[in-house]
Structure 1
């Protein structure tokens, strides 16, 4: 059970709930602050104070005052009109992460919602009711308005959800679980949708996958070094300490650990003085990717516990303040960096694949084929990897440098953070497939060299991966091998 309090959510908690389906509850202390902020909203309504989003219109309509009897309808209209998402829906893990993040943000007590709204969000998680939320349509400022509106629809008994493996009307799922549709009150519609939870949910899950992939990429690279009889001296700690980047030092140390006691590595001058960059510079390149991931994690750790709606209610200070915490720029830039950092993992991996299959660059059978000429072996696997790497170069174009004005120029600079996060997720999927190809080729190469000469750690890894993809004895449909390997990498 993960307990939300608005302050201590971790990325590991998100994985537990979004991916593994763990249940959620909330702390009583945090709910007390929610009640205080709700009273501030109700007092504002009672005293006819003009407060944005409570008794005014939205965006360019912020100067339009709303009559008291229309305040609840204002919130319902907001959700219906802003539910303009298009395209394929987010995955259920992303949807669960979005719900969890929104509940956590509201529990900070700056949003002015009733406790029942937070309880109902948690009910969606614990009853496995997952709103159908289209992926496209957010500008990433004024929050993820369109995606979060589709999330909010489910609370109202509107829209569609995935429930018990089927798409059905939200009203039916709520009825089956004996949950009443929510009736929004002042400020609550705006509090549900004014936030960065779509981009942050996608970004958090993308980060977790990236971290796992990068760890695997190092072990796969170590096998490739053995398959190519690489020069181990390039990983000597003196080299990496001389430069001083901690992540580079640590990658080199892990490579040395993986290759300890290997009889397939060489010393400089034995077979060649030095290797190509894609081998020799593994610590420098992957170390830089680790640096990027640390930056991304730092921003996600803040954002998953942030108050990102508008206005924010500070009950103790007696203030209701309009600002711009919904602007997704910190996450937008982080996601663009994540794309770049992970694209390079695939980029250098594909170059190692080329060195494994190209007979002009090694002394292995051409394309690792069991019968070069009659059988093509890994030839077109390298094509597939090259295609994915090229696609990543397009996806890695930064989304955060783009902006487009909206709401009649009231919202004249936006982050495009959700586009960045979605593209980061696609990049990471591509990276996983590229390193899957490298793994398959490295397995074949070390098998040809002699697995009995491998280092103990890489040999154990070899044996694990050989249970996923068998040795290439004859040409077959290698697409299936790549997908089996990438599925394993996803789960491990």
Structure 2
């Protein structure tokens, strides 16, 4: 079935224009169980301060940070006028190929093992529904609202580059779902990282009035047709190639990776801040962090990490007379610039990899507008992103090993410098707050978790598609496991920060007067958390509060 010109100009999924409703939507924020962490990712970069009203999809370069900010707020999305031109040009190739009767994957021929079977013209509309139904295979807990919107935005950003062959109706339909806050329920498992087919099918089902949508709480679902009616939207009728144009992409892998990339950037800053705080507590030596010392082996990340530490600790600690408690600190302290620096470098690689994906034309087949042809390709492979995620998880395991060792050093101090009587009395003493020494066990458990998560998965791809799709990189799995690693690493970091304050209470470090403002602020906030004399407050709640404080203060950690 050919796509009619009037249908191309008038998308069938459209919002009813009601100014009051739209104004309310423009101010609405998406909240879910992970929003506290996501909203803390704003940072102080130019991207974080850029007004979203000035960002235009299809004109401006999409980045992980911009995508995260767009995902958090439901409102109007500005689309560059040239996007319609790109869509029309690519669509023209699809129409031309169909008119010539040339076999084309997903256009007039089937998908995967059915790639050589013809699609009768009279079944084109039905075939698009078949694509969605046959790929509707994802399982597991639904993505959170912010995650689901990130997936949708990632797909919209890449479709805006004009290589999908989608109708304008499909593009505008996806845009309308985002603007009206209609968020598909997308199960979280089902991708091998060679197009997130089953997860994107969940979005497609909602566009055509099937499937389910997250409610306003993000915890329950309602039928898609009901949600569309409430938003005054009508289901979309898909044309030839629209099914593949929607599902044949890595928007789930890329959208989640964008959020994870921003979270990783925050973590690298948080790690530097907390470990600087630990150095104060343990009176560690920072002589080895001097510029001329780290420049002797000039890895860029190592130099950046050492500069951050000098800024956080103050010049008197870096260049003043030796005051360290030992001639030579353990390696968990001495090699911090080397390990953190490597993590910073890999965070840069992940961010750039995701940014490329967000602005690419990675669909298969590739639509060559200049030559009016369609070319099969492998641009959907997520191998670079997957291997980078594997590498970061391995680095986080090294971070965990070092953090656990520093925790052990501080717990040893707590046990040796406070008598049993002092420890017993400190349970209800707001001025000399109590820190459970069994946090050593928790730190060790988190370290083991990080080591287990370090196992690579990018080489574990199986054969699918009846042998046609015989290689995949498990990009989606690699990214989701990186999220798990960051969760464990953030908790371990909070424990380290809590213990450092406990050590400072027991025996204040001689360098207290030289501490940098951010380190002072962190110590003050943790002391306030420890001083909360409420027997109903659990240690896990104090840890969560410390995590939030670290995340907020890390926004102000910058490269020196």
- Bucket of the pairwise TM-score, normalised by the shorter protein: over 0.9
Separation in 2, partners of 1:369, 1:65: 81
Q: Is the 8 A contact 2:96 2:372 kept in 1?
A: no
Aligned mates of 1:473, 1:226 — CA distance in 2: 28
Alignment pair present for 1:157 and 2:209: yes
Which residue is equivalent to 2:375? 321
Partner Cα distance (1:367, 1:171) in 2: 65
Q: Which residue of 1 aligns with 2:513?
A: 453
Count of matched residue pairs: 490
User: Structure 1's 33 and 427: CA in aligned 2 closer, same or farther, altered over 3 A?
Assistant: same
CA change 1:389–1:20 in 2 (3 A) is farther
Which residue of 2 is the match for residue 424 of structure 1? 482
The equivalences for 1:35-434 within 5 A come to 35-141=88-194, 143-165=195-217, 166-260=220-314, 268=322, 271-359=325-413, 364-365=417-418, 370-371=423-424, 377-434=435-492
Residue 481 (str. 1) matches residue 537 (str. 2): no
Return closer, same or farther for 1:270/1:398 CA change in 2, 3 Å cut-off.
closer
Cα distance per residue 1:340-383 (max 9 Å; x no partner): 233333332222111110249x9643799733999984322221
**Contact 1:335 1:421 (C-alpha < 8 Å) held by counterparts:** yes
Mapped to 2, the partners of 1:469 and 1:271 lie a distance apart of 26
Task: With the length of structure 2 as denominator, give the TM-score of the two structures.
Answer: 0.82
Q: Secondary structure at the match of 2:124?
A: helix
Q: 1:121 to 1:241 in 2, by over 3 A?
A: same
Which ranges in structure 2 are unaligned for 5 or more consecutive residues?
Answer: 1-52, 429-433, 556-560
- TM-score, structure 1 length as denominator? 0.93
Query: Partners in 1 of 2:373 and 2:146 — Cα distance?
Result: 36
Q: 2:74, 2:421 → 1: CA distance?
A: 42
- Assess if the C-alpha contact under 8 Å between 1:332 and 1:417 holds in 2: yes
1:279 and 1:352 in contact (8 A); partners too: yes
Higher alpha-carbon deviation: 181-190 or 233-242: 233-242
Tell me how far 1:194 sits from its aligned partner. Answer: 0.8
Query: In the alignment, does 2:79 pair up with 1:18?
Result: no
Shift of 1:270: 5.7
Label 1:338 to 1:124 Cα distance change in 2 as closer, same or farther (>3 A). Answer: farther
Q: State the alpha-carbon separation in 2 of the partners of residues 401 and 97 from structure 1.
A: 26
Measure, in 1, the Cα distance between the counterparts of 2:208 and 2:357: 27
Q: Is the 8 A contact 1:95 1:133 kept in 2?
A: yes
Residue deviations 1:84-110, cap 9 Å, x none?
001111121111111011111111111
3-state SS of 1:320 partner: strand
Range with bigger deviation, 195-204 or 476-485 = 476-485
CA contact (8 A) 2:364 2:378 kept: yes
Shift of 1:211: 0.8
CA contact (8 A) 1:17 1:23 kept: no
Deviations for 1:316-342, whole angstroms, at most 9, x for unmatched residues? 221111111122212211221222233
Q: Structure 1 stretches (4+) deviating beyond 6 angstroms?
A: 261-266, 366-369, 372-376, 471-476
CA distance 1:468–1:161, change in 2 (3 Å)? farther
CA RMSD of aligned residues (A): 2.7
**Structure 1, 237-246 or 12-21: larger mean CA deviation:** 12-21
